Structure 1
Amino acid sequence: MLLSRKAWEIDLREARKMRHSEVLGCCPHDCQDGCSWVAHVEDGKVTKVVGSKEHPFTRGVLCAKVNDYQTRTYAPDRLLHPLRRTGAKGSGEFERISWDKAIREIAFEFGNIINDWGSEALMPLHDMGSAGALQRRALMRLFHHIGASRLHGSLCGQSGNAVAAEGHPISFDPETLAESECILLWGANLLSTAHHHWHFCLEARKMRGAKIISIDPRRTRTAAKCDEHISIRPGTDAVLAAGMANVLVEEGLADFEYARSAADDLDACLEEIKAWTPDHVCEVTGVAPDDVVRIARIYGAARPGTLRVGIGPQQSRFGDVFVKSLSALAILSGHWRLPGGGLSIEGYPTFDNAAPECPELSPEGTRSLHRGQLGRILTSSDLDPPIKGLMIWGHNPLVNQIDAETVRQGLCRDDLFTVVIEQFMTDTARHADIVLPSTTQLEHFDVQGSWGHCYVGLNHPAIPPLGESKPHTEILRFLAKEMGLDEPALFADDETIARSCLPDGFDWATLNQQGWLFAPQPRRDPASMGGSLKMSMGLDGPEDLNVRDPIAIGKLRLLTVKPHYLLNSTFANMPRQAGQQGNPTLEMHPADAKSLGLQDGDRVLAQNGKGTLAAMLRVTDAVLTGTTVLEGKFWWTANEDGSPVSNRLANSNWTEGGQPTFNDIFVEVTATSGFADI
């Protein structure tokens, strides 16, 4: 019997529904927005990934980095099978092997290392290639259980973490930014790094008449949209904060009652900031005295005012002092009294990131290594025992670690057995002995918190793993079994691991159904510390020429800033993102270019005693004199003619709190006809 056209159309629609599904998930990358998304699946293939319209933060929009995430999953150069190295380390020469052989070889090598050198000769290394609790942290259960070296520290925001460890709050619910009357975006290029936060800034402008002021050495996308841009010499931010505090005190805008309720050294702090008059601040920072006074007045008179701070200013040798100075400024202003006021560097839901690692499995007294000091660790002659076995996942240290050349030397050691779990053949993976293929976010289950808002996100797999790629929890169980381990935590199922992150009584059913759940932490302001905080900034005065005037020593300060289309080194190999980001380019002020005899479009080399970086030159007044800016972290193989990895030029230096000083690079820039000899 023939169907009528209407009945046929109805049957076709139903058939299409059966072939089409929408799967809830979340973006796994190292971004404060932590977006919720929906994967559209047609006939078993993801056709598009879109932002969740229901999520209060995502609001239906993904960023320029991940709005075609399915192309990452289906990329032709995805790693889909285990590989064993056949050539020299770094050569990229591998042969395909089975999972059984790969796991057997890893277990064998790890066992020999433990027998010969002890468990601490094994080092796990992970970072924010995935923010997922399972993908990033679950494998640590294995390393804790066998007594491997532990990890501490951070690559990017360690100065903030160090100050927070002293008791200083550095976060609150960012949605309350909408209640602020003044928002100082201090080294924060939101429109390229966390664009959903910008929405709440605009809401504050609309509803509260808020002034939005950018403080940044570079006129960024965000700075161009602000009410004002204050250009500041890199590395001098703490001095500006001290100068603003000075103005608050001198003009009666300081809240001494609140400050005394929070800190026990207010008098010492007040004595410290006396020296930082607007004129003195100008000498060091380049910010005009009138500007220092004016923005301090705007900030001090607001009810409340907000310091919304980025990561970049932390990455100099004064990074710890910078964060401490901002906390002191926020306390002295009294803005913490009101919602939307205070200091906002990060933001978190109620979520236990450590639980999936089971740190309690690690034997008491096990040494801990700083994850941001890999080059030093791998090349040390004093470390006892030395690192003989290394497993890396969610991290491309050959690009993202400080002093990348020393990292490369360490990874090239013949006596180092290295395993890399990856989705692509990164520069780091090229130096592995065994490479294991990892699933992408569309292929596995995961749960994650955030470091920029108060929502927990759940990720459902939209499709089965491609090729032979595996989630990291499956690798954990596979390897634990091969090593003959019997600790139950090593064989826990994914949901059990995921639930361990969440507090008792957490609404798992709602999280599972809608893909996200609001789980704010109680707002904690400095006064809740019972007057025990230390406000003193530790700012004696950065007087050396490296901070005050790089031109005077014949060099420029090289800043590596967050790009718009890449996320750290992630997506640098993806054609669309890499194409939109463009070739590695150094930005330079016209005055500096003229003094160096350089022109826009020149091929240039930036070099110092550590190495050489090849790039094209863009002459622009968007950057401050005395600086040159590279937007993005590119792979070593990004240029056929020369490496654009800026961290090759960085010395192995860290702040007292452990922050790598990525932005303390000083270079000479010269023109060149080509890069072939680099």
Structure 2
Amino acid sequence: AERLTLAAQRHGPETVWPHFYSGTMGLVQRDGIQRLAHAMRYSCQHSTICVSLVDAGWNAAVGQKRGVDGREIAKSDLIVVWGGNQASTQVNLMAHIAEARRERGAKLVVVDPYRTATAEIADLHLAPLPGTDGALACAVMHALFKEGYADRAYLARYTDDPDGLESHLENRTPAWAAGITGLPEEAILHFARLYGQTKRSFIRLGYGFSRSRNGATQVFAVACLPAVTGAWQYEGGGALYSQHGLAPLDRTLIEGRDVLDPTTRILDQSRIGPILLGDKRDLGDGPPVTALFIQNTNPMVVSPAAGLVFLEHDDIYTAGAHTFLQIGRAILTPYAECRSNHEVQSALAKRLGASHPGFEMTALEIIEHTLKASGLPPPDRFEEGVWHDCWPGFETSHFLDGFAHKDRKFHFRADWAALGPQHANLPAFPDHVAAIDDGDPARPFRLVPAPSRSFLNTSFNNTSSSLAREGRPTAMIHPQALATLGIADGDRVRVRNAQGSVVMHARSFEGMQPRVIITEGLWPNHAFEEGIGINLLTSADPGLPGGGAVFHDTSVWLRPA
């Protein structure tokens, strides 16, 4: 408290930046730090490191973060996992996929730059080059229109400009997409026909393919597929990115929105490196950041451009991909002197002189107040005292009573200007946007730092069991590339670009295109020979149109170490 007070006295309150994210996902313990920031007039945060790009793409099309109940996958005849690895990151979904395959003979298609654990069990795996999913989606839609799979009655009733879309896609052929994605034209056409012929087709959109400079436009293009075929009409059909929009929570007390000064500057979470170095594009006319209050994140490992950065409780949880609002009650006494985030924030607020009712309440009292203000039942009326199902019913979850835009239509024409300031060069209709770091002769490889099965970002990356399962930092490299460079499986390799270089061990892996290099897991920096990890190589450039981390949009070269 003394250090924060001193910094604010020297430079003004905006010199303090509460930098936080989702090490804990409960709203009270995670987001209560915003109440402290608002009460003290500290710099606010634009939280872009995870979902801002996929949010923009989905909302441009659908209008709200909700979709078909994932439990309906059991009634699907085709499941498309696009840009996700559910076998590692959403195991509950795999049970529904397994049921659909067992009971209905459903097919599983995975679209991902490399052969993940989910792709291993798929009936079809398409591995486009990173940053080219939009081209693939456009070519699929071209084929759907050309070969008669478009549901024109549905399009006329539920979408904004189907004729304009069809005209726009006229030259977005499978051959055109093959030249961009690196996929065979025949594979693209096969997938398009499989999708078009299957009414009960369910697309589960992941996060991975949004993490490029053009990520929002890629998500937008993929989200358009079920609108073209009318798959939304059928049980087990449609799409899902997130159900986060289902819980109608009033977060005023949790976040202290009632004391927010709208003139307070907002700093982009993913640009922490440039911000700490005083980049005026981020700081504007405000003071430098001289005090960080970091909660539930590990920016020295997880942040882009890491070379610039290297210097038991009650709660309420909203859903990522299911429909339940959940209460998590404390069942253990905190160990030794451990305190919850809420307790730390409240104690710090008292020392700083911050005034807000939320600092005088327990976490459970905040939960009870929030539920009442939101028109929801109290915790003791949640089913089994734990959850409340926010499922809005079949008609609404399938948008048969209208999509979430003002005109109640699905939008093939995106209003990018409403979603962020960097929209000038984004096309209205779905397209491939060549705003990616596509490499050059000096940096011919495309790097994807993917999640690992045993780590959750930096959670668990220091536990002995997780480390034993993962082994060591490795670069998964196609055998063709290894042979060309004279590298053997297990050799030490150096991966480099203008931002720096990282030494790892090579692992021969055929499950992607030869231009792609995969690393799995956010290893602690000390696991690398030179003391800094893979995000040294990723860029802090903001994704279009409103910012977002572009972890999967990185070109590098590769040499023997």
Normalising by structure 2, what TM-score? 0.89
How far the C-alpha of 1:170 sits from its partner, in A, is 5.1
Q: Which residue of 2 aligns with 1:373?
A: 271
Q: Which residue of 1 aligns with 2:327?
A: 458
Q: Which residue of 2 aligns with 1:490?
A: 359
**Counterpart Cα distance in 1 of 2:368 and 2:251:** 12
Q: How does 1:638-677 map to 2 (within 5 A)?
A: 638-639=527-528, 641-643=529-531, 645-656=533-544, 657-672=546-561
Partner-residue secondary structure (3-state), 1:647: helix
| Residues 270 and 501 of structure 1, relative CA distance in 2, 3 Å threshold | farther
Q: Which residue of 1 aligns with 2:209?
A: 313
* RMSD across aligned positions (CA): 2.3
Contact 2:131/2:436 (8 A) holds in 1: no
| Residues 302 and 658 of structure 1, relative CA distance in 2, 3 Å threshold | same
Q: Which residue of 1 aligns with 2:390?
A: 519
**Counterpart Cα distance in 2 of 1:531 and 1:160:** 21
Give yes or no for the alignment of 1:534 onto 2:411: yes
Partner-residue secondary structure (3-state), 2:109: strand
Contact 1:351/1:456 (8 A) holds in 2: no
| Residues 289 and 623 of structure 1, relative CA distance in 2, 3 Å threshold | closer
Partner-residue secondary structure (3-state), 1:138: helix
Contact 1:254/1:333 (8 A) holds in 2: yes
Give yes or no for the alignment of 1:136 onto 2:30: yes
Contact 1:218/1:623 (8 A) holds in 2: yes
- Write out per-residue CA displacement over residues 505-562 of structure 1, whole angstroms, 9 at most, x where no aligned residue: 4252143854333232452628434355531473564569954xx5855521111111
The answer to which structure, 1 or 2, has the higher relative contact order (CA under 8 A, 6+ apart) is 2
- Write out per-residue CA displacement over residues 420-447 of structure 1, whole angstroms, 9 at most, x where no aligned residue: xxxxxxxxxxxxxxxxxxxxxxx22222
Give yes or no for the alignment of 1:566 onto 2:440: no
Residue type of the partner of 2:314?
F
**Counterpart Cα distance in 2 of 1:237 and 1:209:** 27
**Counterpart Cα distance in 1 of 2:47 and 2:398:** 23
Give yes or no for the alignment of 1:218 onto 2:114: yes
| Residues 638 and 263 of structure 1, relative CA distance in 2, 3 Å threshold | same
**Counterpart Cα distance in 2 of 1:268 and 1:335:** 20
Q: Which residue of 1 aligns with 2:424?
A: none
- Write out per-residue CA displacement over residues 366-411 of structure 1, whole angstroms, 9 at most, x where no aligned residue: 2222222211222224221222222111101111111111122xxx
Contact 1:135/1:471 (8 A) holds in 2: yes
Contact 1:133/1:353 (8 A) holds in 2: no
Q: Which residue of 2 aligns with 1:509?
A: 380
How far the C-alpha of 1:238 sits from its partner, in A, is 0.5
Q: Which residue of 2 aligns with 1:180?
A: 76
Give yes or no for the alignment of 1:468 onto 2:356: no
How far the C-alpha of 1:116 sits from its partner, in A, is 3.1
| Residues 305 and 133 of structure 1, relative CA distance in 2, 3 Å threshold | same
For structure 2, which runs of at least 5 residues remain unmatched after alignment?
415-426
**Counterpart Cα distance in 1 of 2:6 and 2:135:** 53
How far the C-alpha of 1:236 sits from its partner, in A, is 0.7
Q: Which residue of 1 aligns with 2:302?
A: 400
Q: Which residue of 2 aligns with 1:74?
A: none
How far the C-alpha of 1:337 sits from its partner, in A, is 1.7
Q: How does 1:98-117 map to 2 (within 5 A)?
A: 106=1, 108-117=2-11
Q: Which residue of 2 aligns with 1:151?
A: 45
Residue type of the partner of 2:363?
D
**Counterpart Cα distance in 1 of 2:91 and 2:243:** 15
**Counterpart Cα distance in 1 of 2:409 and 2:328:** 41
**Counterpart Cα distance in 2 of 1:347 and 1:157:** 13
- Write out per-residue CA displacement over residues 204-230 of structure 1, whole angstroms, 9 at most, x where no aligned residue: 223333211111121111111111212
Please identify runs of 4+ aligned residues in structure 1 that moved more than 4 A: 539-546, 550-554
How far the C-alpha of 1:252 sits from its partner, in A, is 0.9
Contact 1:556/1:628 (8 A) holds in 2: yes
| Residues 178 and 369 of structure 1, relative CA distance in 2, 3 Å threshold | same
| Residues 336 and 111 of structure 1, relative CA distance in 2, 3 Å threshold | same
Partner-residue secondary structure (3-state), 2:382: helix
Q: Which residue of 2 aligns with 1:286?
A: 182
| Residues 500 and 163 of structure 1, relative CA distance in 2, 3 Å threshold | farther
Partner-residue secondary structure (3-state), 1:343: strand
Q: Which residue of 2 aligns with 1:171?
A: 66
Contact 1:615/1:644 (8 A) holds in 2: no
Farther-moved stretch of structure 1 (388-397 vs 592-601) = 388-397
Residue type of the partner of 1:357?
E
How far the C-alpha of 1:112 sits from its partner, in A, is 2.9
| Residues 278 and 401 of structure 1, relative CA distance in 2, 3 Å threshold | same
Contact 1:174/1:197 (8 A) holds in 2: yes
Residue type of the partner of 1:392?
I
**Counterpart Cα distance in 1 of 2:383 and 2:344:** 24
How far the C-alpha of 1:121 sits from its partner, in A, is 2.0
Partner-residue secondary structure (3-state), 1:390: strand
| Residues 344 and 578 of structure 1, relative CA distance in 2, 3 Å threshold | same
| Residues 454 and 540 of structure 1, relative CA distance in 2, 3 Å threshold | closer
Give yes or no for the alignment of 1:274 onto 2:176: no
How far the C-alpha of 1:266 sits from its partner, in A, is 2.6
Query: In structure 1, which of residues 383, 387, 393 is the aligned counterpart of residue 289 of structure 2?
Result: 387
Q: How does 1:610-629 map to 2 (within 5 A)?
A: 610-629=499-518
Q: Which residue of 1 aligns with 2:492?
A: 603
Identity in percent: 26
Partner-residue secondary structure (3-state), 1:395: coil
Q: Which residue of 2 aligns with 1:251?
A: 147
- Write out per-residue CA displacement over residues 448-505 of structure 1, whole angstroms, 9 at most, x where no aligned residue: 1221211223223332222211111111221122223343222122112123443324
**Counterpart Cα distance in 2 of 1:484 and 1:157:** 34
Contact 2:155/2:227 (8 A) holds in 1: yes
For structure 1, which runs of at least 5 residues remain unmatched after alignment?
1-105, 413-442, 673-678
In our comparison, the structure showing a higher alpha carbon Rg is 1
How far the C-alpha of 1:136 sits from its partner, in A, is 0.6
Normalising by structure 1, what TM-score? 0.74
Partner-residue secondary structure (3-state), 1:578: helix
Residue type of the partner of 2:301?
V
Farther-moved stretch of structure 1 (460-469 vs 130-139) = 460-469
Partner-residue secondary structure (3-state), 2:513: coil
Give yes or no for the alignment of 1:331 onto 2:227: yes
**Counterpart Cα distance in 2 of 1:653 and 1:543:** 15
Q: Which residue of 1 aligns with 2:524?
A: 635
Query: In structure 1, which of residues 539, 552, 556 is the aligned counterpart of residue 445 of structure 2?
Result: 556
**Counterpart Cα distance in 1 of 2:89 and 2:296:** 19
Give yes or no for the alignment of 1:350 onto 2:227: no
Contact 1:584/1:615 (8 A) holds in 2: yes
**Counterpart Cα distance in 1 of 2:97 and 2:66:** 16
Give yes or no for the alignment of 1:340 onto 2:236: yes
- Write out per-residue CA displacement over residues 545-601 of structure 1, whole angstroms, 9 at most, x where no aligned residue: 954xx5855521111111000011111111111111110010011101000110001
**Counterpart Cα distance in 2 of 1:494 and 1:554:** 50
Contact 1:170/1:343 (8 A) holds in 2: no
**Counterpart Cα distance in 1 of 2:356 and 2:51:** 34
Contact 1:327/1:535 (8 A) holds in 2: no
